[in-house]
Amino acid sequence: MQPNTFDLFADHEPEQRPRAEQIGEQSWLLHGFALPLIEQILPALDTILAAAPLRHMVTPGGFSMSVGTSSCGALGWITDRYGYRYSGVDPLSHLPWPPMPEVFAALAHSAAAQAGFADFNADSCLINRYVPGAKMSLHQDKDEKAYIAPIVSLSLGLPAMFLFGGFNRSDKSQRIALLHGDMVVWGGVDRLRFHGVLPIKQGRHPRLGEQRINLTFRVAG
C-alpha cells in the first residue's frame, strides 16, 4: 500500500528544519528528522513489541546476537542455524509479523525522498534493541531480493557510533555519531557499503532509558 506522503516539517521555519549531511555519494545523515513524529512513533513501537517481543536470535555460526530483534511489515528478517533470510511469519508466535504502522511507512518514505529516493515503499522494518555494550559487526545488507531500493535507518534512545565503511570489510570506516531521532539513508552506488555499530556506551536516555532502538526499513520482497 502506498504510504501517505506529507511534509513532516510544514509547521517549522526553514532554519528549524533538520540538517541533511551527505556522508557518501548517495548517502545522507538526516539530523533529527524523526523528532516531529516521536509522540506517534513510540506508542506504535510499543504496540509492535507487545505482539512480537524482542528476542536474541542465533546466527548460522551458533552465536547469540547481542542485540534483541523483532520486525513489523509483510516480511521480517530472521537468522538461525539455517541462515539469514526474510519470513512472513514470526518464528516465535508462528503468526504474521505485526503490520507496519502508517507513521513508520510515511516517515521512511519521506526520509528516502529527502535523500533522493522518491519511490521508496518499505515492506519490512527490522527492530534492533541495543543495551550498553551491545554492538553490530560490520556487514552488508544482502538478504533482500534486489538492491534497487535504499536502506533507511532510524535511531532512538541512547547515542550510537555508526560505522559506515566501503565495499570491502577491510576498508576504512567513517565514524558517525547518531542521536535520538536521527535517520541515515544509503542506496544507489552506496547500497552495499559495509556498516555496523560500535558497543553502546553506558547511559540513560530521558525517554527510553538504558537502551538504543534502531529501526531499519527495507524493501525485502
Joined grid coordinates for residue 129 = 534493541
In a domain, 186, yes or no: yes
Is 32 part of a structural domain of the chain? yes
The residue segments making up the domain with residue 87 are 20-218
Burial of 42 (0-12, 13-18, 19+ CB in 10 A): middle
CB burial string 198-217: b at 16+ within 10 A, e below: eebeeeebeebeebbbbbbb
Q: Give a yes or no: residue 122 inside a domain.
A: yes
Mean pLDDT, contiguous 10-residue spans, the chain (221 residues): 43 60 97 97 98 96 95 97 96 97 98 96 98 97 97 98 97 98 98 98 98 98 94
Domain-located, residue 6: no
Question: What pLDDT, on the 0 to 100 scale, is given for residue 57?
Answer: 96
Query: d(Cα 215, Cα 71) in Å, to the nearest integer?
Result: 9
pLDDT (tens digit per residue) in 79-128: 999 999 999 999 999 999 999 999 999 999 999 999 999 999 999 999 99
Q: Considering the domain boundaries, does residue 5 fall inside one?
A: no
Structural domains of the chain, count: 1
Domain holding 129: CATH number? 2.60.120.590
